[in-house]
């Protein structure tokens, strides 16, 4: 009888682990900024970042372990001068992002993100969806929320002619992460 009970306990432990959520690889992180009155999109990707997550039995618990440190100097828009100017908005410092709450399930919902830049921490809502093993989430933030008015205004002034006089402080950030369960 003890062998049967032991076998059932061991089998259930393996079964629980078999359905745990985990990241398959580092995510793809991208952003979209805007210029001109018509809000023309300018896209880019973050190439230098540290990604941490832990394998967990539930999607919500897994998502709450996601922690990302983005190097603002490690972005690319395929225009080196523009890259340097955008990084200067963030004073060439790291941007921290982590999921602190989840409303939803393993298919769809909304994350509460905590983002820290320039020593200022703000929370943002980020709708997410999981489809075919790919977690996609996006958030819209305003760089002025992080007390970056001076560096943003300098950037906007440098780009005034290129942006027809209008640079938006709003940006959209996207994360795509392959997960397994």
Residues in the chain: 181
Q: Report domain extents, the chain.
A: 28-180
pLDDT of residue 7: 45
Report d(CA 166, CA 39) in Å as an integer.
Answer: 9
The whole-number pLDDT of residue 78 equals: 95
pLDDT at 20: 92
pLDDT digits (tens, 9 = 90+) for 67-84: 999 999 999 999 999 999
pLDDT at 18: 53
Q: Is 135 exposed, middle or buried (0-12, 13-18, 19+ CB in 10 A)?
A: buried
Amino acid 139: pLDDT: 98
131 vs 109: CA distance, rounded Å: 12
pLDDT digits (tens, 9 = 90+) for 12-25: 444 444 579 999 99
Contact indicator for 101, 124 with CB cutoff of 8 Å: no
Any idea of the CA torsion for 96, 100, 105, 110, to the nearest 10 degrees?
-70
- According to the model, what pLDDT value does residue 14 have? 44
Statement: residue 9 has pLDDT above 50: no
Domain 28-180 classification at class level: mainly beta
Say how far apart CA 98 and CA 64 lie, in whole Å. 8
pTM of the model: 0.86
Q: Hey, what are 8's tokens?
A: 């059932």
């Amino acid at each position: 009888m003890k062998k049967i009970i032991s076998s059932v306990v061991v089998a259930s432990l393996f079964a629980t682990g078999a359905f745990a959520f985990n990241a398959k690889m580092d995510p793809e992180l991208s952003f979209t900024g805007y210029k001109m009155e018509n809000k023309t999109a300018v896209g880019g990707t973050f190439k230098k970042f540290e990604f941490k997550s832990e394998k967990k039995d539930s999607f919500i618990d897994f998502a709450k372990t996601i922690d990302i440190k983005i190097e603002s100097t490690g972005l690319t828009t395929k225009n080196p001068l523009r890259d340097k100017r955008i990084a200067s908005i963030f004073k060439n410092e790291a941007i921290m992002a982590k999921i602190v709450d989840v409303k939803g399930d393993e298919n769809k919902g909304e994350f509460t993100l905590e983002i820290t830049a320039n020593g200022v921490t703000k929370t943002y809502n980020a709708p997410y969806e999981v489809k075919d093993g790919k977690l996609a989430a996006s958030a819209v933030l305003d760089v002025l929320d992080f007390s970056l008015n001076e560096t943003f205004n300098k950037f906007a002034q440098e780009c005034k002619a290129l942006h027809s006089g209008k640079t938006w402080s709003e940006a959209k950030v996207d994360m795509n992460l392959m997960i397994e369960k």
